[in-house]
Structure 1
Amino acid sequence: MNNEHTTDSELNTLAHSDHRNGSFPWMDKSLPERERAEKLLAAMTLEQKIAQLHGAMETINIYALPSADEINAMSSEEQEQLMAQIQVQRHVKGIEELGIPRFRITNGPVGVGMGDGHPSPPATALPMSIALAAGFDPELARKYGDIIGSETATLGQHVLEGPGVCLHRTPIAGRNFEYFSEDPYLSGVMGVEVTKAIQNHNVIAMGKHYVVNDQEYERFRTSVEVDEHVLRELYLLPFEMLVKDADIAAMMSAYNRVRGIYATENRYILNDILRDEWGFKGYVQSDFWSCRSCAASLSAGMDHEMPDAKWCNETNVKNALEDTSLEIQTVNRALVRRFTQMFRFGQFERPYKPGVIDAKEHGAISRKIGSETAVLLKNEGGILPLDPKAYRSIVIIGQSEFVDDACNGGGGSSKVTPLYTVPPVEGMQDVLNGLGSSALVSKVTVAKDLSNLEEARSAANEADLVILMAGLVASEGADLPSPNMLNNQNSMLEELLKVNPHTVLVMKSSSPVLMPWITKAPAVLEAWNQGTEDGHVVADLLFGVVNPSGKVPTTYAASENDLLYSGHPDRYPGTDEGNGFPVIRYSEGLNMGYRWFQSQGIQPLFPFGFGLSYTSFELSGFSVTPAQTDGKTPIMVKVTVTNKGKMAGAEVVQVYLGIPVTGQPPKRLVGIHKVFLEQEQSREVTITIDPSATNHPMSVWDYCERDFVVKAGEYTVYLGTSSEDTAFKAKVVVV
């Protein structure tokens, strides 16, 4: 079969013979996966190879698609018709005579989203990725990824496009809900656990969007200019962790240009860094329509075009092979990379037999995840938790997205069609009944133009307890106009917060928002976009069934003027520097997120890592050893955490490091540990700072060495419960 003189016709005859006899040599599971892939390639005609380089959707003009604003203005029926045009074709056609299965791809990363099939199958709508990050708990990430991986496998899909580990450089980025946080270490830790859990179900996980796709504005055109040490220490870091710590099987290449070159054509990031430096063995898929060429993209290291064959079609590939701008070895390389991962996870052998998701079990896990990720931002006078038996009438007030149904947020291709939902009123009534309360829950839906605000004000005045709900549901395809909530919600809250002293505010956000009314709100709970179990999760938290333990994963600014792009259009949304496309310059360098606020001496509204509890904790017995090191020996940080309050709860111990190198921010997060304690219980926590870890906790990028290097000097180890509250510190000298 490997005879170089064998014709395409003879290869097909041999393949058919193998299929009939059940003896494809590439189906021998005793062989290494890559060898199996190579044997398969040897049996393929050029036309078959080309057919496997791309998705099977009928090519469309992406520039003719409606904008995000136009899509939002459509009716739900019109949106469904538009999305059906895309979702039914999320696959690569199989080749029966070679035993190659239809390769089915579903979107993530907040649940099994738009997948191969029409209609896209329903699944568990999980809390947003930003909510998961607020849990500050790798164990939660494992449970989260386990649900996604299990449901992807159950629905017969081969690939889950997620996790997303781009960073929250600005709070207005449209896909912040799909990403974890502003910190590369936290994003990487959570992404690694999600990836491992997904791939435990023999599903390919796909890290995205590689790289610096930190905004939606002009995402098909924008070029990001970023210094090498900034790229390495911040934006590439969580991707590096996915490769080295999770052995991720695939990466998705981003839409944007990186230093003037499209990410799908950028050999430096796709090959030199990803493969040569990090040792990535998987394959690279384009984001949908991010591929901009045939020969250039494949040669640079993109291996698979989705969702169609706009570029990697038979005409283009054959022409490129003929004029030698593309080599057949490059085509083979791309396919071997993908087939190797398919063999790795047994996807050639697995028949397509979609099963039934255990909605009840997965919903219960989603409820637990959600309750451990909500952040208690304010609790003046200990108004929370609420006494379930102290009220006869409770009214929930807010705009439709937040009070009429479960807040299954996040627009665009990652949106999940939920198996079921628990709306706010029904969920709260259910929890109250379970607690023996006779309170009756009602709601008032406030119009987006606030035309019925008087009705809401009257209902708030008459109720024993008012639960205001507000927030933000962002979407792929467009950034927000500002960090303010949409549809006059700030005005709504200004009016309603002063009506009834027994008022609590529940935020349902997909990214941090400005809170100009914060001094008027006695209690604020950030519940995020919760998905399926929204109504239960919020009620569990408000009435003390669960003690909130989430922490802020991305800083809340007090004013838009405090953000890094304020007064700097070159930083965002970018400027045309004469090339005809926007250029965004990350000129703030390493000072992004909490590092920006600390380096500029700006006090945030709520800092990174902050979160209150219904109980109180005491930290004691802090120690750091050794006090002097060669820069290779792990550093042990210990502290004892005691629950001094009246109920069980959880605290997150956070370790930050001050790096003694000019240009470094005051602190960088290098370790977290979430500890659950009963009343009066104590536990010693140990966090290890390992210089050899993939997050390079003590290192900086050295331009001369072209590597991460631990520099000599005096390092400061900070320990506390937020980026601002680090009451304990010690010095470690690296010699």
Structure 2
Amino acid sequence: MQTGQSNGTLGIMMDQLKRRFFQGLMNGPFSMTVECPDDADYQGPGPDPELEPDQRAQRIVDALSLDEVISCLGGYKSMAFPAIPKAGLPSIWFTDATSGPRIFGPCTSMPSPLNLAASWNPALAGNYGRTVGEETRTRGAYVILGPGVNIYRNPTGGRNFEYMGEDPLLAGILAEEYIKAAQKAGAICTIKHFAANNSDYDRHRASSDVDPRTLREIYLPAFERAVRRAKVGSVMTAYNPVNGIFASAHRELITEILREEWGFDGFVMSDWLSLYDTAGPVQAGLDLEMPKADWFSRERILQALEAGEIREEQLRTMVCRVLTVFFRMGAYDNPVIPREPIPIGDPDHREAALAIALEGIVLLKNGDSTAIATPASGVDDSPAGPQTTPRELPPLPLTPPEDRTMRIMLAGPFQEKFPRGGGGSCLVRSPAHTQVFASELAKDLGSGAEILSWDHQRSFMKELGPEDTVIFLGGFDEDRQSEAYDRDWQLPKDQLLVLGKLMNRRASQGFKLGVVLFTGGGVETRSWLHQVDWLVWAGYPGQEGPEALSRLLSRRDTFSGKLPFTMISRWDDLPSNHYYVDNPGSIALRRVFLDQGKVTKRQPWSMPYKEGQMVGYRAFAGWNTSAGSEPLPLDAADATPAFPFGFGLSYTTVELGDVQIKQRPDVDNPDEDRWDAQVTLTNTGDLPGKPTLQLYLEDPESSLPRPARSLLAFKKITLPALGSRTVPLSWSLRDLAFYWPEKAAWVAEAGVYRIHGGFSSGETRLVGEIHLDETRLWSYKEGKPEARE
């Protein structure tokens, strides 16, 4: 049985030392210490209205010698595209920017993208992208190495916090808004890591072996949306092989799907140190090796040319694609950057960080209350999820009594300082990262509360009683939650020891015990959840996290975050865990740093995706049909998650009322139809709320088995106390389709489709049906859809 937990005290200590060693290396040459180039006197070639960007790029490339072309195939100083002196073109600088641009000094430390996903708020995604885009440009860089949209497949994935959850629609919509806003600010976004980069365990060799249908329906749609709708400028390939072929040399992904089917017209770069030969990536369609030319070095390129493995024409096309994007985005026409960057305390950027933190923190338990709302009418058809009715006054918000001082004791590793975020290439520096949670809480609660520290005032513990609260702040710091390796599913043993002591004290003294989790995804809670009064998932909320959490706990703001992933109860409940490694949290430096020049060290091994589409909440919904002769992949329909996808509590309750669904022609595609839903929501509480309405699709009869639920549309709104509002949602004909590999097409079959509505995947009711009179198929050629019956 897989446990997701490293074993042995000595082994845990050694793993932690290895993690710290890796973080020291990661935050060295590739971090934030590069000096900004002095381009203040550069005037650039100037715009040329007579030529399109691709024509300008081609004219320059045509004038370059072969050696000059080769010099453009690899990165410069680890974080730039090299200058082209003959053409008078300067270097174009890149920056890691998962939680803010970390090149050329400090920046605003934003909440993690997983927190952004927990907001379920596309408008906030736009603010996130705008903030990162503006700070990237004013710090002298042009290319943002993000956002990332790989799907949350296993709870222990090292980079889960860098991505936007387990559902491709949610991730795709948020990434679209982020990219549009960042590129409007003048930066160039890089969607990553293409593709199926869902684990960092042995990431240079573990092959994501996934069937074509699952790849298309689960792991590629967010990338497709970024290309088709957001017009992203760049794509970064993944470290891992996909079906045995390294992503950086995967022609089917890079050329056939990305360019020919989706019509991508930007450039493709490798992840850092992720090339494994020369001819493969060139033939696949890769354009740029980062952080420098190794396999694309002059020596190796000339050898490949001489051997007939590649052609000079291909090399010129690669450079031309990169230059085209830079001309299109104005990088060469406006290279001069402000000498005084936007200050760290910029009010707009701090406000953006605070807003995302406020809406990206999720309340999971509040006494006996485990549901934000009920479907109100009809039969509850929830496949899974906790649903009980509040029976007593909940422990949150924190409310000091009128007749005495309320004591609040902070415990756990993050009682004094929140973690900066997950580790690796996303870790940023921020002078504003100095907020102290205890101070924020004291300010919000006033003189009626006394804030104590477990570390420094433990003697007060025995005086705590039913009116008092202990808050345990635990989880994973940047050493434990990071790229390059995965983590344990359980909390660290030293934290569980402290939590156990607190639970024993709670049982004897009667004080309230709350837990705040700083993690990049789900953790094991089954063994202790019943012994705590409330639970909050805080993720990595960035520099404004202490203020945001304090405001939420004190009810200065209301909780509105929703889980963008399923928090499982048992490790074996999730089908994908059955095809995963036994101890994901173990770490070996040989898996982190591979000698790419030695073929024996980079032979792929298979990490099968045998669960198919049964990823996250889809697994707990089960299959819609047993169509077909092959046995269906394992699901979790008989299991119940600890907390379902889309779940999150608030300080108020909301009811789902009348639903009207109408069909109309699609303005953008006249030959197709769209459906509009009008849904009435009513706030039945005496406090404002920000509910997120979620609609899920069920196709009860299909030629190929489908998950019984898949997210179809969602909308987050603001509701005043006791107020009602009609919420509009919409979806297209293509949104009903599944991918049929044998037909090489997306198919929406004639028949009935059921629409389920609610406030999480585990809390829905049937709200309507739609009918499709004829089957429609879509295939793609040269980026344009071909609809056929």
Offset, 1:461: 6.4
Matched residue type, 1:555: T
Q: Secondary structure at the match of 1:111?
A: coil
Overall identity of the aligned pairs, in %: 31
1:228 alignment partner in structure 2:
212
Q: Secondary structure at the match of 1:378?
A: strand
Write the mapping of 1:520-669 to structure 2, written as runs, cut at 5 A: 520-569=531-580, 581-599=604-622, 600-601=636-637, 602-626=639-663, 632-659=672-699, 660-661=701-702, 662-669=704-711
1:477 alignment partner in structure 2:
484
User: 1:622–1:728: 8 Å Cα contact kept in structure 2?
Assistant: no
User: 1:395–1:444: 8 Å Cα contact kept in structure 2?
Assistant: no
Separation in 1, partners of 2:44, 2:146: 35
User: 1:398–1:469: 8 Å Cα contact kept in structure 2?
Assistant: yes
Q: Deviations over 1:505-533 (max 9, x none)?
A: 22222211111211111111222211101
Separation in 2, partners of 1:544, 1:186: 28
Q: Secondary structure at the match of 1:54?
A: coil
Q: Deviations over 1:469-499 (max 9, x none)?
A: 1223311111013x11124323322321343
Separation in 2, partners of 1:615, 1:551: 14
Offset, 1:364: 2.4
Separation in 2, partners of 1:657, 1:55: 45
Q: Secondary structure at the match of 1:546?
A: coil
1:513 alignment partner in structure 2:
523
1:109 alignment partner in structure 2:
98
Offset, 1:631: 10
Separation in 1, partners of 2:108, 2:42: 41
Q: Secondary structure at the match of 1:333?
A: helix
Separation in 2, partners of 1:269, 1:496: 51
Separation in 2, partners of 1:459, 1:176: 41
User: 1:105–1:158: 8 Å Cα contact kept in structure 2?
Assistant: yes
1:77 alignment partner in structure 2:
none
2:397 alignment partner in structure 1:
385
Q: Secondary structure at the match of 1:641?
A: strand
Write the mapping of 1:50-199 to structure 2, written as runs, cut at 5 A: 50-57=70-77, 89-113=78-102, 115=103, 117=104, 121-199=105-183
Offset, 1:23: 9.2
How many residues of Structure 1 are paired with residues of Structure 2 in the alignment?
A: 661
Matched residue type, 1:640: T
1:409 aligns with 2:421: yes
Separation in 1, partners of 2:447, 2:424: 40
User: 1:217–1:478: 8 Å Cα contact kept in structure 2?
Assistant: yes
User: 1:264–1:291: 8 Å Cα contact kept in structure 2?
Assistant: yes
Separation in 2, partners of 1:485, 1:455: 26
2:437 alignment partner in structure 1:
424
Q: Deviations over 1:58-83 (max 9, x none)?
A: xxxxxxxxxxxxxxxxxxxxxxxxxx
Offset, 1:388: 5.0
User: 1:393–1:463: 8 Å Cα contact kept in structure 2?
Assistant: yes
Of 349, 359, 365, the residue aligned with 2:352 is 365
Q: Deviations over 1:26-84 (max 9, x none)?
A: 85254211111111112222222211111124xxxxxxxxxxxxxxxxxxxxxxxxxxx
1:61 alignment partner in structure 2:
none
User: 2:251–2:284: 8 Å Cα contact kept in structure 1?
Assistant: yes
1:33 aligns with 2:20: no
TM-score for the superposition, normalised by structure 2: 0.80
1:307 aligns with 2:281: no
2:28 alignment partner in structure 1:
none
Separation in 2, partners of 1:615, 1:570: 41
User: 2:579–2:609: 8 Å Cα contact kept in structure 1?
Assistant: no
1:276 aligns with 2:260: yes
Separation in 2, partners of 1:155, 1:48: 28
TM-score for the superposition, normalised by structure 1: 0.85
Offset, 1:569: 4.6
User: 1:643–1:677: 8 Å Cα contact kept in structure 2?
Assistant: yes
Bigger shift: residues 271-280 or 134-143: 134-143
User: 1:424–1:536: 8 Å Cα contact kept in structure 2?
Assistant: yes
2:725 alignment partner in structure 1:
683
Offset, 1:306: 0.4
1:719 aligns with 2:757: yes
Q: Secondary structure at the match of 1:196?
A: helix
2:781 alignment partner in structure 1:
none
Separation in 1, partners of 2:343, 2:444: 22
User: 1:631–1:691: 8 Å Cα contact kept in structure 2?
Assistant: no
User: 1:396–1:403: 8 Å Cα contact kept in structure 2?
Assistant: no
1:501 aligns with 2:511: yes
Separation in 1, partners of 2:300, 2:179: 35
Closer/same/farther in 2, CA of residues 572 and 397 from structure 1, 3 Å limit: closer
Closer/same/farther in 2, CA of residues 554 and 343 from structure 1, 3 Å limit: same
Offset, 1:467: 2.0
Q: Deviations over 1:592-628 (max 9, x none)?
A: 1001122122111100011111011121111223499
Bigger shift: residues 412-421 or 230-239: 412-421
Matched residue type, 2:761: S
Separation in 2, partners of 1:177, 1:438: 36
Q: Secondary structure at the match of 1:634?
A: strand
Separation in 2, partners of 1:371, 1:570: 35
User: 1:223–1:583: 8 Å Cα contact kept in structure 2?
Assistant: yes
User: 1:427–1:534: 8 Å Cα contact kept in structure 2?
Assistant: no
Matched residue type, 1:472: F
Q: Deviations over 1:114-171 (max 9, x none)?
A: x3x4xxx111111111111011111111111111111111111111111100000000
Matched residue type, 1:386: L
Separation in 1, partners of 2:766, 2:43: 66
Bigger shift: residues 238-247 or 596-605: 596-605
1:209 alignment partner in structure 2:
193
2:625 alignment partner in structure 1:
none
Matched residue type, 1:398: A
User: 1:50–1:313: 8 Å Cα contact kept in structure 2?
Assistant: yes
User: 2:152–2:165: 8 Å Cα contact kept in structure 1?
Assistant: yes
Separation in 2, partners of 1:688, 1:149: 29
Q: Which runs of 5+ in 1 are unaligned?
A: 1-19, 58-88, 447-451
Separation in 2, partners of 1:42, 1:593: 50
Q: Secondary structure at the match of 1:685?
A: strand
2:300 alignment partner in structure 1:
316
User: 2:465–2:511: 8 Å Cα contact kept in structure 1?
Assistant: no
Q: Secondary structure at the match of 1:714?
A: strand
Q: Which runs of 5+ in 2 are unaligned?
A: 1-40, 368-392, 587-600, 623-635, 774-789
Offset, 1:670: 1.0
Offset, 1:199: 0.6
Closer/same/farther in 2, CA of residues 595 and 243 from structure 1, 3 Å limit: same
Separation in 2, partners of 1:283, 1:571: 38
1:259 alignment partner in structure 2:
243
Matched residue type, 2:436: P
Matched residue type, 1:589: G
Separation in 2, partners of 1:425, 1:23: 51
Separation in 1, partners of 2:615, 2:408: 40
Q: Deviations over 1:423-479 (max 9, x none)?
A: 2223223333xxx43533232349xxxxx9x76955866993322212233111110
Bigger shift: residues 607-616 or 654-663: 654-663
User: 1:460–1:496: 8 Å Cα contact kept in structure 2?
Assistant: no
Separation in 2, partners of 1:552, 1:39: 50
Closer/same/farther in 2, CA of residues 23 and 671 from structure 1, 3 Å limit: closer
Name the Cα RMSD after superposition: 2.7
Q: Deviations over 1:375-424 (max 9, x none)?
A: 11111132211225656354443333x22223211100111112312122
Q: Deviations over 1:533-586 (max 9, x none)?
A: 121011000000110001111001111121224444589979xxx995320111
